């Protein structure tokens, strides 16, 4: 008998609505409720705080917080493009614009806010826009394309964001503010003045104390804005960003209590006046206050989720007790921060720093006794923000004189208490981060994923990094950049040294730049030697087993013998099968060789064939046969390009739009042999169905009908990551150019054994930065990167072919110096399972799971038979 689950409906899929869903799933409530989410916009939740990033990348992709697939995976029904138009709170029913009716047991309103457009005559003319959604940005972009001059109405926080966007689009930008100063809600007059002069230096014109009276036809531009002081300004486009209003229209229709000036009234559990209806985020009014920041919205989301959980389990509901509205941001590149009562209050004491020369202004507001921090405003330098916020939130007595707080500088920034909130988006404390670091998460990317710190607005990322470094240092862990005891340099620095000084061997490197031991040994270790080997190979691509330069002694386990060592000490062999395309004749040849040496064969995830169980001394003769049959090494043993996976593409597939196999083969042949900080995997899909799973690869390419879409830094494995969309509709030439540059930039800057996914997460500025380097040549490096790639490609060699051509190279595959003295019976044992050979060695180390033949459960003899 089917049990009907209670229905939970969420209206609104913005940042707060989505955060609520995440909380819900965290509590397992998605299993207990039939959850439906309605979103008015065509996309699932995205990051509105960093909206202007859209113009940096030209794509909504980097802003996305989730995907329809996530919702499907959680078992939640997501209705996009779907507006809810009415709620009957008596029958607990809601109706959508399409006329569909839905029942709910519990309802969460997360409808957000809408931009306030002042009631000015002409505000509905063409190219008069607002700034809130991605669709708004698209409209701004379209208008900017035919505009020379633009005006932002509103000099508050959002208005200045919009001005930044407009300026980035190449439009001469004006800001018109009604109040006598910029950011009148947060800043005092002096701070506003300084911000104004800084912004004007950047070429944005600021007009304060101006009320727009009408927008009419212009003479030199599309519009003329007339002001109350009888002046006017001509402009081609206008963006209204004069504040937000809670989106409470739906609640009004439903008869739910609304505040006098708007906003859905809620109690401490975010419950509205209607039974089982909650409101969270910017649409909610708590104690006559609207909270227009994301962090308080997230807090409400957590409160509502815990209250719902408390009804069905023994979770104790938390209460919303207000939220701090302190904020720190970069507006048009200028640091601005406001804490607490940032505009002061009656009888307040204060200390003030106004540095005209460097353009810094700071003011602290203290209580009447002068002992407690009640508010602060900072312009031009935010480095004190965390320390001051901490002092404000804790209400600890100020130690010493307050003016010292202004001069203490930034060194003590990470010197917070464990209980201090570092990431206000996700309420992560310093203590949470310190604990996570102590538990072994030493990288920014790891901290982001396990604590969620810095994964909201990202503003706290530099502080999080400082806390990580500080904790590692306190723990006596290897926080300094040195890769091991023998070098104080990180990989990037070593790479640079080798490149600039032309160093090609380890002895020179460790003697000149490393730390030989007290005995004068220059052996290095299994960290620095393979790292050096990789750097030499990336720079010159010499034969890795070269004796003269001593390269052979540097190679890690697998590179050292050009094979992948297995738990029984034998090797696996993986010839290259570019793009996964192989002729029947080659398949047969490979099969015959595998049969001759009784090698266990398995198809790999990279669309090729792995042959296991070759003894060290057998490797040369097996490879001789493979090379004679037309194969070459697959570099499966190297930190280098592994495979370029492909779907069958337009040559056979009726849906394919491009020849994905052809491209995959060409790509594999270009980049094979490139030694890199870690292994590289590519894939090419011939259409958006993405059968090659390119978005989980370091380099992923998906065909579009106009060219190729390039994704970078995807990963499968332990920490899966979808690739970032790097560029769209590229020609094949552009594609190669970008990949050349991206890979060489990765080779140049990544840490040792750092995959592209964590490299991307560790790049300050992330995707946008990489795009500026690769597409806009921001570092002026591209010519060098391309040349270097061309050198590496030109120096390609099949290492097995080279080895076989030089008998002296083959000596190292002699396992024993005196093979004739071998005892008669070899003690290694094998068992046969599913008609193939498996090691039957004693269980040890990592793999302790017995192998069992499941093809024939009856036959026990089969799996126990040991072939000695």
Residue numbers in the known binding site for siroheme are 691
**Min dist. Cβ of residue 566 to another protein (A):** 9
Neighbours of 428 (CB within 10 A): 22
Angle, alpha carbons 330-728-455 (nearest 5°): 35
- Which residues are CB-neighbours of 534 under 8 A, at least 6 positions away? 639, 675, 676, 677, 752
Binding mask 770-809 for another protein (x = CB under 8 A): ----------------------------------------
**Min dist. Cβ of residue 494 to another protein (A):** 17
- The span of 408-416, 520-528, 573-581, 699-707 binding another protein (CB under 8 A) equals 520-528
List residues bridging with 680 in a β-sheet.
641
552 lines the binding site for another protein (CB under 8 A) = yes
2 vs 821, beta carbon nearer another protein: 821
- Which residues are CB-neighbours of 845 under 8 A, at least 6 positions away? 567
- Which residues are CB-neighbours of 118 under 8 A, at least 6 positions away? 153, 212, 240, 242
375 vs 620, beta carbon nearer another protein: 620
456 lines the binding site for another protein (CB under 8 A) = no
CB half-sphere exposure, 637, CA atoms < 13 A: 25
Residue ranges of the annotated binding site for [4Fe-4S] cluster are 647, 653, 687, 691
**Min dist. Cβ of residue 816 to another protein (A):** 5
* Burial class of residue 805 (count of CB atoms within 10 Å of its CB; 0-12, 13-18, 19+): exposed
**Min dist. Cβ of residue 521 to another protein (A):** 5
Angstrom distances, CA of residue 505 to CA of 271, 550, 791, 807: 69, 7, 19, 23
Main-chain phi, psi angles of 804, to 5 degrees: -70, -25
530 vs 662, beta carbon nearer another protein: 530
Residue ranges of the annotated binding site are 647, 653, 687, 691
- Which residues are CB-neighbours of 205 under 8 A, at least 6 positions away? 172, 173, 174, 175
Cβ(278)–Cβ(272) below 8 Å: yes
124 vs 548, beta carbon nearer another protein: 548
- The span of 23-31, 289-297, 449-457, 547-555 binding another protein (CB under 8 A) equals 547-555
**Min dist. Cβ of residue 527 to another protein (A):** 9
**Min dist. Cβ of residue 809 to another protein (A):** 11
504 lines the binding site for another protein (CB under 8 A) = no
689 lines the binding site for another protein (CB under 8 A) = no
Among 132, 486, 635, 678, binds another protein (CB under 8 A): 486
**Min dist. Cβ of residue 506 to another protein (A):** 10
231 vs 557, beta carbon nearer another protein: 557
304 vs 599, beta carbon nearer another protein: 599
Tokens 């640079």, residue located: 496
**Min dist. Cβ of residue 575 to another protein (A):** 22
How does DSSP assign 135-183, residue by residue?
HHHHHHHHHHTT-SEEEEE--SHHHHHHHHHHHHTT-EEEEE-SSSSSS
- The span of 182-190, 284-292, 580-588, 813-821 binding another protein (CB under 8 A) equals 813-821
550 lines the binding site for another protein (CB under 8 A) = yes
485 vs 778, beta carbon nearer another protein: 485
Q: Could you give the CA distance from residue 531 to residue 513 in angstroms, rounded to a whole number?
A: 14
Residues in contact with another protein, counted by CB under 8 A, come to a total of 42
* Residue 411 in tokens: 């060194």
List residues bridging with 699 in a β-sheet.
682, 712
**Min dist. Cβ of residue 604 to another protein (A):** 21
Q: Could you give the CA distance from residue 473 to residue 87 in angstroms, rounded to a whole number?
A: 57
**Min dist. Cβ of residue 832 to another protein (A):** 20
530 lines the binding site for another protein (CB under 8 A) = yes
Binding mask 816-855 for another protein (x = CB under 8 A): xxxx-xxx-----------------xx-xxx---------
567 lines the binding site for another protein (CB under 8 A) = yes
Query: Which residues in the 83-102 window bind another protein by CB under 8 A?
Result: none
CB < 8 Å & 24+ apart, contacts of 256-259: 256/87, 256/89, 258/285, 259/285, 259/288
Binding mask 593-622 for another protein (x = CB under 8 A): -----------------------x------
How does DSSP assign 227-274, residue by residue?
ETTS-EEEESEEEE-S-EEE--HHHHHTT--B-TTS-EEE-TT-B-SS
DSSP 64: B
678 lines the binding site for another protein (CB under 8 A) = no
Q: Could you give the CA distance from residue 495 to residue 585 in angstroms, rounded to a whole number?
A: 43
Q: Could you give the CA distance from residue 291 to residue 138 in angstroms, rounded to a whole number?
A: 27
Among 86, 557, 731, 787, binds another protein (CB under 8 A): 557
Tokens 């698209």, residue located: 138
Main-chain phi, psi angles of 610, to 5 degrees: -105, 130
Q: Could you give the CA distance from residue 237 to residue 148 in angstroms, rounded to a whole number?
A: 9
* Residue 832 in tokens: 């046969």
Among 561, 623, 745, 759, binds another protein (CB under 8 A): 561
440 vs 584, beta carbon nearer another protein: 440
- The span of 69-77, 228-236, 548-556, 769-777 binding another protein (CB under 8 A) equals 548-556
Query: Which residues in the 745-764 window bind another protein by CB under 8 A?
Result: none
861 lines the binding site for another protein (CB under 8 A) = no
529 lines the binding site for another protein (CB under 8 A) = yes
- The span of 341-349, 357-365, 443-451, 524-532 binding another protein (CB under 8 A) equals 524-532
Determine the angle formed by the axes of helices 430-438 and 461-474, rounding to 10 degrees: 50
DSSP 793: H
Cβ(295)–Cβ(459) below 8 Å: no
Q: Cα dihedral sign for 725, 731, 734, 736?
A: positive
Among 2, 794, 811, 849, binds another protein (CB under 8 A): 811
Among 58, 170, 370, 569, binds another protein (CB under 8 A): 569
**Min dist. Cβ of residue 758 to another protein (A):** 21
499 vs 547, beta carbon nearer another protein: 547
Among 417, 521, 602, 689, binds another protein (CB under 8 A): 521
Query: Which residues in the 633-672 window bind another protein by CB under 8 A?
Result: none
Contacts with another protein by CB under 8 A lie at: 485-486, 517-519, 521, 523-526, 529-530, 547, 550, 552-553, 555-557, 560-561, 565, 567-569, 616, 811-812, 814-819, 821-823, 841-842, 844-846
């Amino acid at each position: 008998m089917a049990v009907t689950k209670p229905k939970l409906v969420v209206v609104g899929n913005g940042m707060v609505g989505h955060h609520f869903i995440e909380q819900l799933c965290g509590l397992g409530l998605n299993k207990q409720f039939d959850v439906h989410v309605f979103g008015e916009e065509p996309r699932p939740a995205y990051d509105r705080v960093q909206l202007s990033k859209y113009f940096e990348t030209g794509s909504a992709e980097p802003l996305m917080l989730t995907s329809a697939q996530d919702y499907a995976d959680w078992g939640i029904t997501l209705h996009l493009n779907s507006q809810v138009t009415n709620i009957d709170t008596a029958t607990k029913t809601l109706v959508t614009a399409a006329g569909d009716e839905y029942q709910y047991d519990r309802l969460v309103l997360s409808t957000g806010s809408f931009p306030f457009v002042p009631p000015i005559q002409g505000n509905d003319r063409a190219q008069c826009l607002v700034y809130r959604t991605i669709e708004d940005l698209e409209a701004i972009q379209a208008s900017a394309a035919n505009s020379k001059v633009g005006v932002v109405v509103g000099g508050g926080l959002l208005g200045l964001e919009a001005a930044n966007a407009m300026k980035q689009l190449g439009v001469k930008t004006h800001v018109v503010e009604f109040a006598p100063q910029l950011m009148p809600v947060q800043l005092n007059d002096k701070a506003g003045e300084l911000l104004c002069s800084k912004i004007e230096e950047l070429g944005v014109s600021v007009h304060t104390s101006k009320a727009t009276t009408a927008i009419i036809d212009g003479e030199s531009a599309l519009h003329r804005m007339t002001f109350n002081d009888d002046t006017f300004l001509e402009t081609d486009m206008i963006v209204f960003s004069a504040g937000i209003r809670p989106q409470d229209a739906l609640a009004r229709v439903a008869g739910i209590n609304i505040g006098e000036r708007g906003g859905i009234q809620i109690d401490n559990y975010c419950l509205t006046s209607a039974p089982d209806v909650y409101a969270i985020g910017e649409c909610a009014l708590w104690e006559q206050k609207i909270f227009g920041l994301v962090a308080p919205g997230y807090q409400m989301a957590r409160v509502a989720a815990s209250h719902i959980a408390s009804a069905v389990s023994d979770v104790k509901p938390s209460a919303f007790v207000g939220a701090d509205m302190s904020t720190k941001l970069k507006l048009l590149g200028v640091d601005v921060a406001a804490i607490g009562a940032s505009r002061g209050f009656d009888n307040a004491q204060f200390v003030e720093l106004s540095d005209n020369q460097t353009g810094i202004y700071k003011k602290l507001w203290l209580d009447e006794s002068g002992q407690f921090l009640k508010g602060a405003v900072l312009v031009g330098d935010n480095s004190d923000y965390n320390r001051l916020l901490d002092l404000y939130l804790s209400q600890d007595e100020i130690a010493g004189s307050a003016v010292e707080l202004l001069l203490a500088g930034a060194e003590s920034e990470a010197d917070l208490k464990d209980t201090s909130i570092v990431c206000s988006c996700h309420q992560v404390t310093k203590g949470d981060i310190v604990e996570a670091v102590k538990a072994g998460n030493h990288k920014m990317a790891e901290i982001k994923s396990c604590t969620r710190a810095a994964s909201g607005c990202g503003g706290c990322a530099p502080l999080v990094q400082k806390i990580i470094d500080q904790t590692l240092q306190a723990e006596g862990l290897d926080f300094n950049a040195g890769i091991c005891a023998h070098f104080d340099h990180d990989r990037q620095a070593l790479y640079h040294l080798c490149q600039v000084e032309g160093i090609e061997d380890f002895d020179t490197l460790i003697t000149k730049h490393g730390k030989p031991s007290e005995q004068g040994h220059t052996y290095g270790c299994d960290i620095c030697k393979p790292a050096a080997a990789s750097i030499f190979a990336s720079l010159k691509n010499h034969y890795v087993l070269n004796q003269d330069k001593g390269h052979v002694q540097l190679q890690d386990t697998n590179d050292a013998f050009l094979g992948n060592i297995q738990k029984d000490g034998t090797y696996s062999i993986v010839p290259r099968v570019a793009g996964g395309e192989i002729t029947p004749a080659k398949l047969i040849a490979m099969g015959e060789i595998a049969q001759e040496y009784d090698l266990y064969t398995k198809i790999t995830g990279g669309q090729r064939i792995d042959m296991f169980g070759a003894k060290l001394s057998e490797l040369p003769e097996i490879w001789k046969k493979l090379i004679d049959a037309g194969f070459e090494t697959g570099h499966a043993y190297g930190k280098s390009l592994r495979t370029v996976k492909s779907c069958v593409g337009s040559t056979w597939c009726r849906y394919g739009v491009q020849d994905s196999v052809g491209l995959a083969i060409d790509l594999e042949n270009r980049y094979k042999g490139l030694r890199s900080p870690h292994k590289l995997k590519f894939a090419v899909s011939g259409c958006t169905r993405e059968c090659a799973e390119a978005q989980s690869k370091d380099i992923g390419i998906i065909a579009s009908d106009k060219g190729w879409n390039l994704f970078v830094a995807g990963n499968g494995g332990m920490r899966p990551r979808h690739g970032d969309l790097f560029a769209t509709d590229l020609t094949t030439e552009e594609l190669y150019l970008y990949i050349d540059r991206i890979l060489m930039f990765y080779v140049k800057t990544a840490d040792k054994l750092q995959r592209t996914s964590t490299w991307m997460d560790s790049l300050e500025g992330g995707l946008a930065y990489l795009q500026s380097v690769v597409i806009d040549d921001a570092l002026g490096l591209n010519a060098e990167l391309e040349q270097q790639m061309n050198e590496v490609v030109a120096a390609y060699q099949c290492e097995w072919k080279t080895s076989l051509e030089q008998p002296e190279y083959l000596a190292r595959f002699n396992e024993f110096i005196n093979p004739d003295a071998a005892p008669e019976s070899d003690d290694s044992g094998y068992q046969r399972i599913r008609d193939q050979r498996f090691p039957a060695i004693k269980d040890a180390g990592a793999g302790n799971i017995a192998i069992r033949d499941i093809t024939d459960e009856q036959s026990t003899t089969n799996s126990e038979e040991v072939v000695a």
